[in-house]
Structure 1
Amino acid sequence: MSWEKELQELALRKELAARMGGEAKVRRHREGGKLPVRERIARMVDPESFREVGALAGSGEYDAEGRLTDLTPSNLLIGRAKVQGRPVVVAADDFTVRGGANDGAVGDKLVEAERMAQDLRLPLLRMVDGTGGGGSVRNIEIKGHTLLPKLRMWPLMAQNLATVPVVSLALGSVAGLGAARVAASHYSIMVRDTSQLFIAGPPVVARIGQNLDKNELGGSDIHTRNGVVDDEADTEEAAFAQARRFLSYLPRSVHELPPRAAEPGRAGEQEWLRGAIPSDTRAVYKMRPIIETLVDEGSFMEIGKRWGRAVITGLARIDGWPVALFASDPYHYGGGWDGPAAEKFTRLLDLAETFHLPVVNLVDVPGFQIGLNAEKAGAMRYGVRALTAVAQSTVPWCSIIVRKAFGVAAGGHQSAGRFNFRYAWPSAQWGSLPVEGGLEVAYKAEIEAAEDPQAKMREIEARVRSLTSPFRSAEAFVVEDIIDPAATRQALEEFVELAAPLREPGPRVFGYRP
């Protein structure tokens, strides 16, 4: 018996599905500066590695004899592929078919993609372009009834965040569930000008009297500054490159360990670090060149650069080993933590804990931000959550105190409940309060009783400052070691060498955070 007829129909169905939304809609999509979904997948993953699942799903049209005459494919493509030789799961919206809105198969395919990533323990790449399964008003007439919101995929999405790396790329106007899928990831990217993210888009928002275009309402300039999205890219190709780079630092799942680079990396010239910190404690300096000098050349991938800017966060390698890196940025509030900085710190620490990344922390923290705005913004609540995350962390940790470490915020430079590596530079200074802010309180009566209060305060300050040298603290074993800044890379290499065997695969469970 020959199955030639069925094989011909199979080929026809695949041919019709490959048309996506049709020539006209694909052309308009390109004219809007966006790639068609199948081209996106081809450029994101390794050549010819994409194996589609559910390629035949969609809505068929038939003649009177029941023969297929046309097919509108599902507007969600899912499947398996490889990125830099490592397997991943891909879920990509097709905006050319019903604008990426829901059809009969999208919900099932969304669940299938999330479950595939979970059960195969593979990273998940989401390319979101549209509502991503949330449906449209047209569905009311098609179905004859309205649907009660039920996020069948959300339990799996939550499990995946605790199990496999999840990367989401917003590649068009994403709203509702599509926007939520972008935010519910370990790393998210928007494309400048061509992608937007909303709870509800401009036509809906206009009904409450806000007439805004798409970028004014939800462009990357908004969401990379508020922390909803981690980063932006100039082009889709650049976004794909950022996604590949992020995945390169992480294991396939929590059941494996982050891979070391094929060849150990080299660091830059270290000698200049001796003069990197100004002697004037009020002067700012650039932290990023210090980071780039200490880690393997070209390995630092900063994440969330435009929000929570008092803290620099990202992934890097030291001698080939991947690490999560934190650093203060004195150019923003002197490195003092506000709510967004603490939240950003917590997010990366959770990533490090989930995927077994050792932590390197370059410390210059004058404390939490102070003043009315900080109090109104709840800086203490976010700060306490960050400190609790530090106390709950179990990954190996190395802190380098490069300058200030004051107050409760600086107390979270590492967990006090276990052994950590810790070094200070000669430029370091620390205490419960900075000398500048604490003299007036601690010596109030003595200062007020003096004939010349200002002279008395200068006298007291000079006396107290003579005791604040980090070498005096080292005598009392307050700090384990003070090192030449030019020797920091050597100390970090020892840290990662000793930390690597301590990493243990498996899921992590965090306790309650206030």
Structure 2
Amino acid sequence: MTDPSGVAELRVRRGLAEAMGGEEKLARHIAAGKLPVRERIARLCDPDSFREIGSVSGKAGYDADGVLTDFSPANFIFGRARIDGRAVVIAADDFTVRGGAADASITGKVEQAEAMAHTLRLPLIRLIDATGGSVKTIESLGRTYVPANPSWGDLIRNLESVPVVALVLGSVAGIASARAVSAHLTVMVESISHMFIAGPPVVKRTGIDMGKEELGGARVHEKAGAADLVVKSEDEAFATARAFLSFLPSSVGEPLPARAASDPEDRADADLGAIVPADRRKVYPMRDILRRVFDDGDVFEMAPKFGRASITALARLGGRPVAVMASDPRVYGGAWGADTCDKAIRFLDFAETFRLPLVHFVDIPGFMIGPEAERTGTIRHGARALAAVYRASVPVCSILVRKCFGVAGAAHMNPEGFRHRYAWPSGDWGSIPLEGGIEAAWKRDLEAAPDREAMLAEITERLDALRSPFRTAEAFGVEEIIDPAETRTLLCEFAELAYRRNLRDAPQARYRP
């Protein structure tokens, strides 16, 4: 019986495409602890919201009469969906078809997925489970080819215009790894996620024999900063993507998604200041301060294992999303090394791109010092971080919790405009800390003194009397000293003021991965 409408054939082809790589390959995929690509999409998105584009694209075979004899679907799936009611673009690799190999895919689909996000100004979520190029392509093409990265122009433009999330859901290499890190948030899953420039078989040819976990496991990239977060399951990765998007607009230039707040803006915390020890040599849990200040203790931290002297996060104040930076005095006393500088630069670019007002809890004793700091070029990385601070145009409010010293301390905000800045009574600042600084400034006198330790103690006591933050406030060197209990109320007021003027300024920095 003929099918003049073609609907029956369409249904057959859709069925073949939905079979993905076939039962055997799907079974191997599931046995490896991974979800099939279409189930991933279903779990990530709102129910029944995915609308596929290119659903019957793939490689077909025909007999002499032009009748379809076999069909292998494309290993890249994309389309429109909704997450928490918001339209998004989903771009997903199907590992069961040629291992998701990049040069076995239909490049037009990849290009259209990126173009769709950019053109329609929709958030983009990449579900990445693919290898890079394969030498098998040489035989199928009958030639080699000069490499090109499909749609990379749109990929870069997307970083500057819409939220981009990459979930690494398998062992990925080459261009798939580059796609994974070219995002505002890159998430890996323990045990199933690996990321390589080149995988173990290729690396072995260089004389280095390493397994997948050792070479490019999730924990390797978490510490290196290539992965922002590592989670325990694919479902946790999907939940992380949804949480991240909840803080952001669908595209640059749109208002941030404020929500009704259940946490009172005037909530005071009388015990907040007690977290910071009176002894300046003792450390304290900065994350505890953040949880007690922001709405409902909800703080979405990014890159917690990289550049650990600074915490970077998203949070809300009175229902309004803000970007958060905070020193962690438990890591090098909060001193900025090269990795912390790189982390700060990327985060500031991110906040600038989406016009997120920035709250900075400051306890910075300066840049890292010593031979490792010099070998890693910390001062150059630090100068780049300063440039990012000074180029940013988003509203900034700094809370000077304790230390703020030297060139790195000066990176707590751009002081050349209006300084929305508060200090706690525990504030301690200057060009360099007295501890160590006295011995450098009075070196000759101390060496010549009959009692070096007595002279050092006398100078320390004399200068200690001058380091009170209230003396700085008298000269308007710091704008306002506050009771720590007032911090949340004042920050909620800052967020309200920041939202009044925020979108009037275009981003000054262009986002880079």
Q: TM-score range by the shorter chain?
A: over 0.9
Distance in structure 2 (CA, Å) of the matches to 1:44 and 1:140: 36
**Could you say which residue in structure 1 is the equivalent of 2:316?**
317
The residue number in structure 1 matching 2:46 is 46
CA distance in 1, matches of 2:66, 2:507: 54
Partner of 1:146: 144
Alignment match, 1:326: 325
Cα pair 1:313 1:326 within 8 Å, conserved: yes
Call closer, same or farther: CA 1:90–1:424 in 2, change over 3 Å. same
Which residue identity lines up with residue 359 of structure 1 in the other structure? L
Task: Indicate the residue corresponding to 1:259 in structure 2.
Answer: 257
When structure 1 is superposed on structure 2, of 254-263 and 425-434 the one drifting more is 254-263
Tell me whether 333-342 or 269-278 shows the greater mean CA deviation. 269-278
Q: Shift in Å at residue 257 of structure 1?
A: 1.8
1:26 counterpart = 2:34:
no
Q: Deviations over 1:13-52 (max 9, x none)?
A: 0000000000111111111000000000000111111000
TM-score by length of 1: 0.97
Describe the SS at the equivalent of 1:208: coil
Contact 1:101–1:130 under 8 Å retained in 2? yes
Instruction: Tell me the amino acid that sits aligned with residue 12 of structure 2.
Output: L
Spell out, residue by residue over 1:248-302, the C-alpha distance to the aligned partner (whole angstroms, 9 max, x if none). 1010110212110244545776111121100110001111010000000142000
Name the CA distance, whole Å, in 2 between partners of 1:99 and 1:238.
24
Q: Secondary structure at 1:503's aligned position in 2?
A: helix
In the TM superposition, residue 104 of structure 1 has moved relative to its aligned partner by: 5.7
Unpaired segments ≥5 residues, structure 2: none
Contact 1:192 1:220 in 2 (8 A): yes
Deviations 1:102-153 (A, max 9, x none): 356531111111100000001110011012xx43111100000111111131
CA 1:26–1:507: 2 relative to 1, 3 Å: farther
Q: Retained in 1: the 8 A contact 2:127–2:166?
A: yes
Residue aligning to 1:281: 280
* 2:83 counterpart letter in structure 1: V
Return 256-265 or 222-231, whichever deviates more.
256-265
TM-score (norm 2): 0.97
Note the C-alpha offset of 1:3: 5.6
Matches within 5 A, 1:38-437: 38-102=38-102, 105-131=105-131, 134-266=132-264, 270-437=269-436
CA distance in 2, matches of 1:494, 1:207: 59
Cα distance, 1:184–1:511 mapped onto 2, change above 3 Å: closer
- 1:383 counterpart letter in structure 2: G
| CA contact 1:396–1:420 (8 Å) conserved in 2 | no
Gaps of 5+ in 1: none
**Percent of aligned pairs with the same residue?**
51
> RMSD in angstroms over aligned alpha carbons?
1.6
Q: Distance in 2 between matches of 1:183 and 1:302?
A: 17
Quick check: 96-105 or 279-288, which moved more? Answer: 96-105
State the distance in 2 between where 1:69 and 1:478 align.
Answer: 80
Asked if residue 445 in structure 1 is aligned to residue 444 in structure 2, the reply is yes
Structure 2 residue 467 is matched with structure 1 residue 468:
yes
Point out the more displaced range, 148-157 or 275-284. Answer: 148-157
Counterpart of 1:203, as a letter, is: P
**What is the CA-CA distance between 1:507 and the residue it aligns to?**
5.2
Q: Distance in 1 between matches of 2:370 and 2:345?
A: 23
The CA distance in 2 between the partners of 1:243 and 1:512, in whole Å, is 19
CA distance in 2, matches of 1:198, 1:512: 23
Q: Which moved more, 1:434-443 or 1:358-367?
A: 434-443
- Change in CA separation of 1:307 and 1:46 when aligned onto 2, cut-off 3 Å: same
Q: For the Cα contact (< 8 Å) 1:249–1:258, is it kept in 2?
A: yes
Q: Which moved more, 1:342-351 or 1:173-182?
A: 342-351
In structure 2, give the amino acid aligned to 1:150.
A
Q: Is the 8 A contact 2:98 2:104 kept in 1?
A: no
C-alpha offsets along residues 372-421 of structure 1, whole Å, 9 cap, x if unaligned? 01000111111111111000011111000000000000001000221131
How far apart in 1 are the matches of 2:460 and 2:413?
Answer: 29
